[in-house]
Amino acid sequence: MILYTEKTKNKNIMFIIPPLTELYPNSVDDADEVDIVHPPLGVLYLSAYVKAQGYKTFVYDSLIKKLELKEIELIINKNQINVVGITSMSANYEKALEIAAFVKNMGCIVIVGGAHASSAYKKVVSSPYIDVAIIGEGEVPLMNLLSAINQEQVINNIQGIAFKEDDEIVFSGQAPRIHDIDSLPLPDYDSIDMEPYIALQSLGLISSRGCPNNCLFCSSKNIWGRQAIFRSAKSVIQELDYFDEKFKYRGKELIFYDDNLTLKKERLFKICDLMIEKDYQFHWKCMSRIDTVTSNMLIKMKQAGCYSISFGIESANNETLFRINKQITTDDIQKVIRMCSDAGIIFHGYFMIGFPWETRENFMETIEFIRTHPEIEASLSILSPYPGTDFYDNREIWDIEIEEVWNKFNHLTSVIKSKNYSSSEIYTAFSTYLLYEERKHNNETQKQHQF
């Protein structure tokens, strides 16, 4: 298949980041949580990559400004843009589809990427408003696709894309991963307004791509496979130097957005040593796994400025931990809680309820674990069975029904119908957690006022 543009061929491309969902802030002005709104690093990497190949990019970031279709129309017409790339998760896919319909009706070629396109590409390319879905790591497939569009060549042999041709869905196969990610240019921070992110102190970086684990509920493997690829310590420090020099960011909050920063221990120690040597004075946090940290590692991370680590705990029930392939036990979790406390690092746990076999008693078991560990920070969510996960693909085996309303895939809404629990039971449990967190917050606030 050849994609023909209705407009004059050029090397201009627009990237659009839709707002998150109605349940989350649509702009930085509404956000009070650093973790909610952060620079769209995936798109910024793509922008930098195609710019290096001679393309001119325009990035419309609806995370920090209200989405205005009229403004998008003006940018497209002024710059004669004929290709638009849209990223989306499942939760904001409906908004992405609305944008796709708008720009398609303007005569643009529409490319969609991100987690949802990678996991549900058959449904994505079935839309009349979407020409191509990019599956997985985007830089190379996107560049090959843009070259084919400009040269009016067939796209069928480009790896890492899917499209619909003659009522048949064509998937060209996964593109090979980029193994030398040090060779990629830094994200194109100049393409968006960074001031709101700097004010929120939500700057961060990705020092590795992918995760080798196989948690049953996670769709990361649909993007990266089950392989983690790492930037060198030198490359990481170059980006931190850039933050320090470009944004005057010394001494501020920093986030590592890796799935697991502690996976490669020698590299992490080297990064920490260089951060200490550079004396950035960053206060930083990251994500990790219970089974990849050691006491010595936590001490070194603390010395380098780490103040909080988020761990995927999911459940306080050992059977559930086994069934979702976490490969940890509650004893392991307790041990790492103590290790973090000894190192002076906040233990932040991500917990989840709503697995198909769970009951009300299991929900309350997890919430009771949170309640009896006031020394940790906790975030509880409701299972969203994303496309490409075992729960979504094998729903008959799990004996569940899934309400495929994508904006409900937000971890705050239950979309699973299970014989083991009712929606009222899961929402009652979730409300119990929220009430506990509110009381905990009020008690901490009261203690602060006493001093």
- In terms of pTM, does the model score above 0.95? no
Each domain of the chain, given as residue ranges in start order, spans 12-171, 215-450
Over 70: is that where the pLDDT of 134 sits? yes
Q: Are both 12-171 and 215-450 of the same fold? A: no
DSSP-assigned states of every residue in 194-262: -HHHHHHT--EE--EE------TT--THHHHTT--EE--HHHHHHHHHHHHHHS--TTSEEEE--S-TT
Tokens representing 28? 């930085």
> Which of the pair, 32 or 314, is modelled with greater confidence?
314
pLDDT range class, residue 21, cuts 50, 70, 90: low
The pLDDT of residue 26 is above 60: no
CA-to-CA distance for 417 and 403, rounded, in angstroms? 8
Q: Give me the amino acid identity at 238.
A: Q
Summarize pLDDT for 208-252 with one digit per residue, the tens.
999 999 999 998 888 888 899 999 999 999 999 999 999 999 999
At 6, the amino acid letter reads E
Query: Which CATH architecture describes the domain 12-171?
Result: 3-Layer(aba) Sandwich (3.40)
What average pLDDT score do residues 145-169 get? 95
What is the distance between the alpha carbons of residues 352 and 348, in angstroms, rounded to a whole number? 13
By the 8 A CB rule, do 362 and 375 touch?
no
Are residues 384 and 412 in contact, defined by beta-carbon separation less than 8 angstroms? no
pLDDT class of 34 with cuts at 50, 70, 90: very low
Secondary structure (H, E, C), 45-79: HHHHHHHCCCCEEEEEECCCCCCCHHHHHHHHHHH
- The superfamily (CATH) of domain 215-450 is Aldolase class I (3.20.20.70)
Mean pLDDT computed over 17-38: 61
